[in-house]
């Protein structure tokens, strides 16, 4: 039986390259026999963490927005794939906000054991996403039952929709998803 894999796409851009890569990886993961859900943060009401730490006592955030349902999805997934465009060699602000808002999970039980990072960037090369991976690894360190399990870097993508025209990048994204 496959894993329950949650893809979280954080680009807010129309015709997003990172989301297109996520779609292809999700297809690969599904074809490998996994239960897959791809959630886009586009059009989600996702507010900044207030840092009040009430969630540490209650297990629930005081902010009532779309993150309430997202926390349940994260908590029950076996593997998480965070998908982000690279802005200034870092995670998108939307993904960072999402990660911050997962704070209610800190004192709770969670199913996820593997966390992956998928990126899309205009520059190519592994060094492009290393800072972003470092930020994600800091989040992972707060959840001792899970580990950073790998990454996919889709470089050389500038304009919206460009991933659609690059069969080699889409094929690599599919293979990445199939290997999860």
**What CATH number is associated with residue 63?**
3.40.50.360
pLDDT of residue 130: 86
Q: What Å distances lie between residue 157 and 23, 66, 90, 141, 174, CA to CA?
A: 16, 30, 16, 30, 17
pLDDT of residue 6: 98
Q: What range does the domain containing 41 cover? A: 4-178
Rounded average pLDDT per 10-residue block, the chain, 180 residues: 94 90 97 98 96 93 95 97 93 96 94 96 79 93 96 83 78 96
pTM of the model: 0.95
Q: Is 28 exposed, middle or buried (0-12, 13-18, 19+ CB in 10 A)?
A: buried
Closest CA to 112 of 146, 82, 137: 146
Separation of alpha carbons 89 and 80, rounded Å: 21
Domain count, the chain: 1
């Amino acid at each position: 039986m496959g894993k329950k894999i949650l893809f979280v796409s954080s680009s807010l851009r129309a015709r997003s390259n990172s989301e297109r890569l996520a779609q292809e990886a999700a297809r690969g993961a599904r074809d490998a026999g996994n239960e897959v859900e791809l959630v886009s943060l586009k059009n989600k009401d996702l507010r900044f963490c207030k840092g009040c730490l009430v969630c540490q006592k209650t297990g629930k955030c005081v902010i009532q927005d779309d993150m309430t349902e997202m926390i349940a999805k994260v908590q029950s997934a076996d593997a998480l794939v965070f998908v982000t465009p690279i802005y200034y060699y870092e995670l998108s602000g939307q993904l960072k906000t999402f990660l911050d808002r997962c704070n209610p999970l800190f004192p709770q039980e969670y199913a996820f054991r593997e966390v992956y990072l998928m990126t899309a960037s205009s520059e190519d090369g592994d060094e492009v996403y290393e800072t972003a991976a470092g930020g994600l690894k800091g989040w992972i360190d707060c959840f001792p039952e899970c580990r950073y399990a790998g990454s996919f870097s889709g470089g050389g993508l500038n304009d919206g929709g460009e991933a659609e025209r690059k069969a080699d990048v889409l094929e690599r994204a599919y293979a990445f998803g199939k290997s999860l």
